[in-house]
Structure 1
Amino acid sequence: MTQNLTHLLTRRAHLPAQGTTFYRGVHTTETDGLFALDVAGDAGILSLYADLSPQEEAELAQECAVAAHLGSVYLKRRPPEARHAANVDREWLSPPEPIWGEAQAEVTALENGVPFLIRPGADLSIGLFADARPVRQWVRQHAPTRVLNAFAYTCGFGVNAALGGSQVVKNVDLSRKVLNWGQGNYALSGLNAPDEDFLYGDVFDWFRRLANRGDTFDLVVLDPPSFARGKGGAWRAERDYARLATLAAEVTAPGGQMLTLLNHAGVSSAYLDRMVRLGLEDAERQGRAAHRLDAGEDFPEASHLKAVVWTLDT
């Protein structure tokens, strides 16, 4: 296995020279669905999609470390029911200590030259989703004056918008913890990060508040989870994305754009498009799919990521 891992990792050896030290080293399509390996600096994040014995887990982690020249490897167990088990079996799914090597609570890794804080042992989500790298780059290259970044997580889209020249960037998330993490990412790039640009609370509530104020944005980024629980009940992307698109359209300026993302294998691109169009109709807006963006080159073959830039009517 080690020899094969080395061969697979060689395919991405050019990325650090291009300013990217956070990337998918080995994808599930290259391991028959058994595992994936993300690389963040000299830390590895090993995601397992099948049951292995503790000895097998440790051996695989060591093989990954040797093949990728890593200082540590962290384990993420990802059974099909992980999204439901995360609240009760968090430490089993995502052990806080490395399975191999010395602990690294925080790693600063680069994405297209932009530094981000990665916390490999913090949770199943480590601070950034590598497959959306080209989408964040698009935001940086096309950053308009006013941007609303919904479901901001650690503000990767917000950082890129600000670096691209956007004058106003609002980041919205239900977690203060990840918004604080996002402010740390802003600081790494020397960006101003006033508290008023980091809006804590339910995204749907914030959309309504912003609409009531008459606030509009030239670009609204929608990057929701596929499933989540909140005070309003369970969010399911396959059921609720149209309602989200309606609220987003109401705060999108005339001629502005919406960037819709979803990482969900069970939702097709055509179905997501249909939900977005239904949402636009409910908002009495018209729009067209202007750009379709793919995952990075380190995500070969089919990717679960759908990313579409919609241009709305004037």
Structure 2
Amino acid sequence: MTEYHPLHLPDLTRLFAARAALPASGTTVYRAAHLTETGGQFTLDVAGDAGVLSLYVPLSPPDEAALAAACGEAAGLAGVYLKRRPVEARHAANVAREDLSPPDPVWGEARPELTALEAGVPLLIRPGADLSIGVFTDARPARAWVRANAGGRRVLNTFAYTCGFGLSAALGGAAVVKNVDLSRKVLTWGQENYALSGLGAPDTDFLFGDVFEWLARLERRGDTFDLVVLDPPSFARGKAGVWRSERDYARLMAQAARVTAPGGQVLALLNHAGVNGAAFERMAAAGLDAAGRRGAAQTRFGAGEDYPGARHLKVHAWQLD
């Protein structure tokens, strides 16, 4: 029998008002309430006029409904979708998907697909499609960094998802961008994001398959890149077994280093609250050593201002010799 937690409702109007500068500056997809502001119970992401309410503790059905309504009304949304994110969600997602991510809103009007903006860049969002709606808003500063540093460079975007980093690189004037992901569905979604910005999106720039296999293939071909983006999941199951970022990141960094041109950069992201920045840096450095490369982390940052107190995301830009 499920043991429900009592609902603790923060001052939502105050939280939303603190984000007012984001939509005013051309960002309409962002985190409106973070775990550090809700006692660890829930988050709310806003995309256009749709809300995505994520629960990290079990609430009773009446409390779920009351919370969704309170979020929708306080933020002036058209509809609110629900995502249930228990600790075991990453394992259950394939077998309990509709319970974890109901396809219809739990409050208000449906928005099955909409276009929201990140720093003026249109992105296709599907609030009811899955646990992930089309963009990870915590990585917004990292995408801005890629756009600012991609000019004239060959860029490899691994674990591309809907190709936010690849799109940022292309908009930043990259000479070549290759996006790699194990899902054809999200790569097609990425091509749609390119099209929203009026960019060409040939199939050859979207590489379907296992990232590790593609890195090995690119190395065998002798292909190199001036900037490699690493944004892996913290946990995944694949043909080669179970990936755990806290255990396996050095191996990934080594493979990335082998396809990074001399003088190139690796932008390494780690989404794992249990690994601090210093430990992440040691793992990445071990990977460089294994690849026979030298380098230094020159820039370090995390999530955006809409994630106050967040420590889960580490982003390190490595300059390689």
Verify same fold: TM over 0.5.
yes
TM-score, structure 1 length as denominator?
0.98
Report matched runs for 1:83-102 at 5 Å.
83-102=90-109
Q: For 1:148-194, what per-residue CA distance to the aligned partner results, in whole angstroms no more than 9, with x for missing partners? A: 00000000000000000001000000000000000000000001100
Q: Which amino acid aligns with 2:193?
A: N
Q: Which amino acid aligns with 1:179?
A: L
1:235 and 1:118 map into 2 onto residues whose CA distance is: 27
Q: 1:13 aligns with which of 10, 17, 20?
A: 20
Q: Look up the match of 1:242.
A: 250
Report matched runs for 1:1-314 at 5 Å.
4-144=11-151, 145-313=153-321
Instruction: Give the match's secondary structure for 1:64.
Output: helix
2:270 and 2:113 map into 1 onto residues whose CA distance is: 27
Q: Are the aligned partners of 1:15 and 1:21 in contact in 2 as well (CA < 8 Å)?
A: yes
Q: Are the aligned partners of 1:2 and 1:64 in contact in 2 as well (CA < 8 Å)?
A: no
Instruction: Give the match's secondary structure for 1:15.
Output: helix
Instruction: Give the match's secondary structure for 2:185.
Output: helix
1:272 and 1:116 map into 2 onto residues whose CA distance is: 30
1:283 and 1:2 map into 2 onto residues whose CA distance is: 50
2:217 and 2:150 map into 1 onto residues whose CA distance is: 24
2:108 and 2:223 map into 1 onto residues whose CA distance is: 49
2:62 and 2:159 map into 1 onto residues whose CA distance is: 38
Q: Are the aligned partners of 2:157 and 2:228 in contact in 1 as well (CA < 8 Å)?
A: yes
Q: For 1:225-280, what per-residue CA distance to the aligned partner results, in whole angstroms no more than 9, with x for missing partners? A: 00011111111111111100010000000000000001111111111111111110
Unaligned runs of 5+ in 2: 1-7
2:310 and 2:112 map into 1 onto residues whose CA distance is: 32
RMSD (Å) for aligned C-alpha atoms? 1.0
Report deviation, 1:102.
Answer: 1.5
Q: Are the aligned partners of 1:2 and 1:67 in contact in 2 as well (CA < 8 Å)?
A: no
2:100 and 2:226 map into 1 onto residues whose CA distance is: 39
Report deviation, 1:2.
Answer: 7.4
1:271 and 1:33 map into 2 onto residues whose CA distance is: 25
2:48 and 2:109 map into 1 onto residues whose CA distance is: 14
Instruction: Give the match's secondary structure for 2:298.
Output: strand
Q: Look up the match of 2:4.
A: none
Identity of paired residues, percent? 69
Q: Which amino acid aligns with 1:134?
A: P
Unaligned runs of 5+ in 1: none
Report deviation, 1:3.
Answer: 7.9
Q: Are the aligned partners of 1:147 and 1:220 in contact in 2 as well (CA < 8 Å)?
A: yes
1:171 and 1:133 map into 2 onto residues whose CA distance is: 18
